[in-house]
Structure 1
């Protein structure tokens, strides 16, 4: 929703998820807010878009679910649908073993940002940067990190 707000009516925003319920929920939420987003059922390893479609691909809180071979396959698909010098932004939970206090009990496994950055770099992306958000001390939120890069 935030991405659609930022690009405005002149931009195009598409969202994919393999789950029918998640897509239905996202469509309903976008409709309530009158936000024009194209949602479709899909998987990262086979994106249903032509080559060089997008300026930016933003992946949110899902990469930790993927085994390494699927991450590499998905990054190749992302590179395919990105325009030259297109930007990749991955947001994911921090790795479970790096959490403390209440956040250590959060269910999602998470990603080590440096490992994720290495996979992104190995996939041929350039100017790879990472940033981590630390949770507040008494929060059950596990913290998150970002990997940003550009298609070479």
Structure 2
């Protein structure tokens, strides 16, 4: 998302709907299923924005689970909290300094957030994800995959407000100590890494 969309929740929702071509629910539900989420899990959504992915995860964990979302934008966090289901809550925080105790979560999710984190802080952010996950905890992170053609490059740049870069999700996960379980792609323009924290 460009900076206008990041700080304006209504534009964020509109641009997301357009960017996913009406398929956002399908894509996000697919990511949630792929993550291995379980009823009763405590889930962290990093870069939660308006809470759309968190809401889909909240359905999966059920009333015995909980989803915590963090995002550095106060306007979108406020918007998310106004619309949050009973088993989800949101707070203002960046991925580089997560306001949670060690080993607090069963699962961490993130979609379209890593490209917003300054390159110099990305390794620290993945280290924070490792820290707050329980031993054996699961991770699924998705972001734009490097576009291969001119049209896909223009689409990513227009949608994200950033240059079409390779955010190197697998390298970041491995560098933080995660064991990579799977990498792959999701339409329209996403790549993902699924990983686990050793132990447990």
- Please tell me the TM-score bracket, short chain as reference: 0.7 to 0.9
75, 78, 101: which is aligned to 1:24?
A: 78
Backbone CA RMSD of aligned residues: 1.9
Q: CA deviation at 1:102?
A: 5.9
Q: CA deviation at 1:103?
A: 6.1
SS of corresponding position for 1:91: strand
Unaligned runs of 5+ in 2: 1-54
- Name the TM-score, length of structure 2 as normaliser: 0.64
Unaligned runs of 5+ in 1: 136-142
- Give the conservation status (yes or no) of the 8 Å contact 2:141–2:192: yes
- Choose between structure 1 and 2: higher helix proportion: 2
Matches within 5 A, 1:48-63: 48-63=99-114
Alignment length (residue pairs): 140
**C-alpha distance in 2 between matches for 1:67 and 1:25:** 24
101, 109, 119: which is aligned to 2:151?
A: 101
- Name the TM-score, length of structure 1 as normaliser: 0.82
Encode CA deviations 1:89-136: one digit per residue, 9 max, x unaligned: 1011223x43543662333245536x220121121100342111243x
**C-alpha distance in 2 between matches for 1:100 and 1:29:** 38
**C-alpha distance in 2 between matches for 1:61 and 1:68:** 14
Does residue 1:7 correspond to 2:61, yes or no? yes
